[in-house]
Chains A and B, each alone.
Chain A
Amino acid sequence: MRILKGSIKVKSFNYKEDNDYSWSMIIDLDRCNGCGACVIGCQAENNVATVGEEEVGKKRNMHWLRIERYIEGEYPHVKVRFLPMMCQHCAQAPCESVCPVYATYHNPEGLNVQVYNRCIGTRFCGNNCPYSVRYFNWFDSSFPEPVNNQLNPDVSVRERGVMEKCSMCMQRIRRGKDTAKDEGREVVDGDIQPACAQTCPTGAITFGNINDHESKVYKMAHSGRAISLFEEKGTHPAVKYLKGGTNDVIG
C-alpha cells in the first residue's frame, strides 16, 4: 500500500489528514440489478431486526441498506433503475452537528459512527439526514429464542430508543486490521469487505481506502463516472456512485 501522507485531498476535518485510512465505498449503478442480496447480507451481519407487517406500515422497517427503485417514462418507454442506499458517511455530515450528546461523530478514518450507549433518542440526526438512512428503534428488538442463536457476536443488539445505521461493517474493518497486524503486514486493498460488498453477485459494490492511491476505490472514484448524491448539499459523502450507461428506448 502506498499512502501519500500530506497530499490527501479528502475533504474532511483536519484530524483525518494524519490518518492512514479513509474508508470509501463505490457503487456501480450500471452493475446493480436490484436483487437484494446485499440487504439480507447486511441484516445477517449486523443483527438488524425485522419489525413485522404492522410496523412496516408505519415506515419503521430497519434495513440499514435499502434499494431505491425509480420508474421513469411512460409505457412502452419505461425504464426502471436501482440505487442501493445506505449511510453515505458524509465528511460534513448534517447528522453529526445536531446530536446533543455526541452519539454520532466522525471518526478519524472518515466514517460516521453511531455510539449506541450515548444515544438518548432525540432523533434530531434522523430528521437532519438528507438520505433518510438512520433508523430508530421504536421497540426493543425482537430476537426471541431460538432466533437469537443467529446473532452476530461482533455486533451489539440495539435497544429501544436508540438510533442506528450502517457502520460500514465496523467489526469487519476491525477484524481486517487485526488480522493484518497479526500477520505483521499492512492492510491491503480487498482485505476488508463489508457484508454488502462481499455478497453482491454482480460486483457492484467496492470498498476500500481512498487514501491509498493504488486502491480500486481511488481509481473508480476518479474514473469520470463517479457522482455523489445530493452534491449541492455539500455533505461530501464517502459513498460514491458510478453513473449508469446509455438509456436506450424504443421509438
Chain B
Amino acid sequence: MDRRSFLKLSGVAASASAVGACSRVSQKVIPFVETPNDGANPVDGDWYATTCRECNAGCGIIVRTVNGRVKKIEGNAIHPVSRGKACARGQAAALSVYHPERLTSPMLKGAGGFEAIGWDKAVDILSQRFTEAEGKLFFLNNGSNDAASGIANEIFGKMDGFVSAGNQEPGFESLVAGGESLADFPRIPFPDLDHAQFAILLGADIFESGPSPVFWGGAFGECRRGRASVRGRLVYAGSRLSATAAVCDLWLPVPPGRLGALALSVAQVVVEMIITRKLASSIPRNALGRWSVALKEYEPEKVAAQLELAPEHIRKLAIPFVDESPSVVIAGADVTGYANGVAALDAVEFLNMLSYEIGREKLRIHERMTPEPNDNLKRRMAEALGVPHEAHGFSRLTDLVAGMEQGNFSMGIIHHTNPVFDTPTGLKFKDAMAKVGFTVAIANFMDETAAEATLVLPDHHWLEAWSAQTPDFVPGVPVFNLQQPVIQPFFGTKSGSDIMLAAAAAAKLKTPADTTEAFVTGKIQQFRAEMQGAPAYLSDNAFRRHLLREGGWWPAQVEAEAAPVPSGTVLWEYRDKLKAPEPEFDGAENPFFLHPFQTVHMGRGQGANSGWLQEAPDPITTLMWQFWVEMNPVTAAKLGVVEGDMVKISSAHGSITAPVFPYKGIRPDVVAVPIGYGHTNYGKLANGRGGNVMTLLGAKRDAISGALAWRSQKVKVEKAEGRMKMLRNAHPEGEYKGEVFQL
C-alpha cells in the first residue's frame, strides 16, 4: 500500500468511528475519559509492618513501599494501640525519611566547628572513649524502651557510674506516679473510654499529647457513636478549651491547679449518692462513712467559689457520673502540669474506682483500679529490652544534670532527643552538657543538642532501621513491638545502635550481640515462652518471621497470673488520701498563668522541620507556619492588642515575643503558648519560627513525683513593637457561621 491510499483508508475509518460515537451528546465526551485514573495503573507495592517511633506510644503501622521507596504510612489493623489508624505526625514520617537536611556523614567538632569524618574513624574515636570512660558515662534518650537503649544498658549497665535516663514528654511521670502505691507495675492509666457512657476529662488533652492520640481517638469514636442506642457524653474541665475539649459536650473553665478540688467535690456528691441510694454493696460501709467525713470540706457549696463555678455545675458532673454509669475520669496535662498534680490524681483514681463499683456493667480496662492480674507479665514485657522502668522521667533527668555539673561523667550519649531545646531553661541542660568532656549525639537531623555535641553520628531513620520497642503505656495487654527496615538506607547513614555495638566490641567490652538485628532476634527467643497465643509449632526462625509479619507480639487476651485484689480493699487505702493541696506558682506576683501546650503537629518540636506538618492548619487557630499566643479577647482588649499584634511574655527566666491570637475558649487570666516552636538550629523550615516557651520556665517540680510542673509559671505580658499577618486557614469564627450548616 502506498502512502496516499493509507491516508485515504485511515480517513474513512476515523470518520466512521466518529459517526458511531455521536449517538448521544454526553457520550461524545464520556468515552474519552471513562478511566481517567491519571493514566496510571495502580500498583500495590509492598507493605511492611513496623512500629511508629515519632512518639513513644508504640502504634503499630504498615508502610507501603514501591520500588524501594516509602510511599505511605497507615495503621496496623490488628495492633491494640493504633487499631489500624495513624495520626498526622506518624504519617508525616514518610516525608522526613527523604528530608534534604538529613545528616549523612559522622561529624567531629574541631576548632573550626564540625568536620566530616569517615565511619571507621568515628568507630575508632568512640571505642577509645568507651575504654577511657570506664563506665563513667550516661545514655539519654527520648524516654522509650527501645533496642538502642537496651543495648546501652546491657553494655554499660553493670559498670559503676553508668546512668540511663529518658527525656520523656512532660506529665507522663506524674500520671505513672499517680497510682504507684496501688499497682505492682506503675503505668499510665487507660480508663475504658470505649465502653463508657459518661466521661469527665480533667484537663486531659488526649488527642494532642501522649501517650497515644490515635488510641484515644479510637476510644472516643467508640464512646461517642460506637453503640446503636447510646451516645457517650463527655465533659471537659480545664483552663483552656483545647481541641480535645472542643469535642466534649460541656466545658468548665476551672482556674489553673484546681482540678483536684473539682474531682474531690464530685467525689463528695457521688459518695453521698452511694450512701443515700444504698449503691455499691461491695464497698465496706465503714469506709463510706469515713470518706463522707473526709470529703465534707469539698461539698460543692464550699469549693464552688475557688473553682469559680456554681454548685450546680459540680452536681452536673456528679449526678450523671452515677446515673449514666459506666463512667470514667481521665486526667491529663492540666492536672499534671501543676505542683499538686499527683495529689489530684489520687482523687481521679478514687472516682474511677467508685465508678467501677457502681457501674451497671463493668468496664473492660480499668488500669490501676486494682492491681492487675497481669502486672508481672506487663512489667517483664515493658522491660524485655533491658531498660529499667524507672529510667525515664524528669526527676531522673534532674539527677543526671546534677551529676553532669559535678563532673561525674566523662562521656555522654544522647540518642534521638533534644533536651537543649525541649527542657526548661531552669534545668540548665546546655551548661551541664558543656561540662561533660565528650558527648555523642545520635540523630537524624542537626538540632540544638547535636550542635553542642562533640561527635554527631547520623542514624538511620526509623523506617530504615532494626529495633524493637516496648511501650510502657499499654492499654490492657502487654505489647512487644518490632521495628524493621522497610527500605534500604537512603543516605549514607549507619544504625546508631550498630555503631555502639561495634565500638564497644573494639573496646573489648562485653556486648549482647553483634548487630541490633541479632539483639532483637535474641530478645524474641528469650521471651518466646512469655508470648502467649503465638503459634508454638513454629521454629525460632519461623516464629521471628511470624512476628515481623504481624509487627510484634500482643495477646488477644492474657491468662491471669493471679487473682485481682478486691477493689473494696484497695479503696480503703484511700482513707487518708482525699486532699487537694493549694497549687503553687513560680513568679506568683505576675498577673497571667502561662499555659504551654502541645499541638497535634509539632510534638515537642520534632515536627517543626516537616513541610507537611508546618503547613497543616492547627485545629483550633487554623494557623499555618506560624507561632502564636492565645489569650481571651477580653484580655487582649485590656492590653490594647488585636490579632497579629506582638506581645512580650516574660518571666524571671526569660522572655519571648509572639503574635496574639484572640480566642474565646480560654480563661481571661491565662495565656496559652504552643510548645515546639522557636528552633534556632533545626533546619530551614524550623528556624526562627516564633519563640521557645521552655525558655520561660524554671524547673518547678511536682511535690510527690518530681515531674516537671510545666504549667506552674506565672508571667508578665506587655504590648511589644510590631505586627504580623496571621496565616489563618479560616475566618476567625469559621469560613461560614456554624448555623449556616445547621450543625
Contacts and interface: CB of A to CB of B under 8 A. Distances in A.
Interface of A: 13, 15, 28-37, 39-41, 43-45, 50-53, 56-57, 61, 63, 66-76, 78-83, 102, 105, 107-108, 113, 115-116, 132, 144-156, 170-172, 174-175, 178-179, 195, 198-204, 227, 229-230, 241, 243-250
B38 A41 contact: no
A115 B665 CA distance: 43
B727 A72 contact: no
B221 A105 contact: no
A83 B743 contact: yes
Which 6 A-B pairs rank lowest in CB-CB distance, beginning with the nearest?
A201-B217, A70-B734, A202-B221, A80-B246, A70-B738, A34-B619
Given A80-B246, A171-B37, 9 more contacts: A36-B88, A53-B727, A66-B617, A70-B738, A72-B737, A108-B34, A201-B87, A203-B226, A241-B741
Contact of B42 (A34, A43, A154): A154
A117 B603 CA distance: 39
14 contacts: A33-B247, A35-B207, A35-B600, A41-B74, A44-B612, A68-B736, A70-B733, A71-B663, A71-B734, A75-B632, A105-B30, A147-B95, A171-B40, A199-B75
B94 interface: yes
Contacts of A40: 88, 91-92, 612-613, 616
Interface of B: 26, 29-30, 33-44, 66-67, 69-75, 85-88, 91-92, 94-95, 97-100, 207-208, 213-214, 217-218, 220-222, 224-226, 231, 233, 241, 243-247, 249-253, 309, 313, 316, 490, 600-601, 611-617, 619-620, 622, 624-626, 632-634, 663-666, 668, 725, 727, 729-730, 732-739, 741-743
B250 A250 contact: yes
B249 A70 contact: no
B86 A199 contact: yes
A115 to B, nearest CB: 5
A50 B612 contact: yes
B33 A113 contact: yes
Contact of B217 (A35, A148, A174): A35
Contacts of A31: 220-221, 224-225
B252 to A, nearest CB: 6
Contacts of B732: 71
A30 B37 CA distance: 33
Contacts of B632: 75
Contacts of A200: 85
Contacts, number: 283
A28 B225 contact: yes
Nearest to A102: B29
A175 B42 contact: yes
A36 B217 CA distance: 12
A69 B622 contact: yes
B37 A71 contact: no
Contacts of A74: 664
Contacts of A66: 617, 729
B40 A80 contact: no
B372 to A, nearest CB: 26
Given A40-B88, A78-B665, A201 B72 contact: no
B66 A153 contact: yes
B243 A33 contact: yes
Contact of B225 (A30, A116, A144, A198): A30
Nearest to B59: A201
A56 B94 contact: no
A63 to B, nearest CB: 8
Contacts of A155: 38, 40
B133 to A, nearest CB: 37
A70 B741 CA distance: 11
Given A45-B72, A146-B490, A150-B71, A172 B42 contact: yes
Contact of B43 (A80, A153, A202, A249): A153
Contacts of B727: 53, 56-57
Given A29-B743, A149-B69, A144 B615 contact: no
Contacts of B601: 36
A248 B87 contact: no
Contact of B243 (A34, A37, A199, A249): A34
A78 B225 CA distance: 23
Contacts of B309: 250
Contacts of B734: 68-71, 81
A79 B601 CA distance: 22
A9 B424 CA distance: 61
Contact of B664 (A68, A71, A115): A71
Nearest to A80: B246
Given A146-B490, A172-B42, A56 B743 contact: no
B665 A202 contact: no
A202 B217 contact: yes
Contacts of B620: 34, 69, 80
B665 A75 contact: yes
Contacts of B633: 75
Contacts of A145: 100
Question: Which of B67, B309, B600 has the most chain A CB within a 10 Å cutoff?
Answer: B600
Contacts of B250: 248-250
Contacts of B73: 44
Contact of A50 (B34, B611, B739): B611
B218 A202 contact: yes
A102 B25 CA distance: 13
Nearest to B738: A70
Contact of B218 (A78, A116, A201): A201
A227 B477 CA distance: 40
A113 B36 CA distance: 8
Contacts of B226: 203
A124 B222 CA distance: 42
Contact of B249 (A153, A154, A247): A247
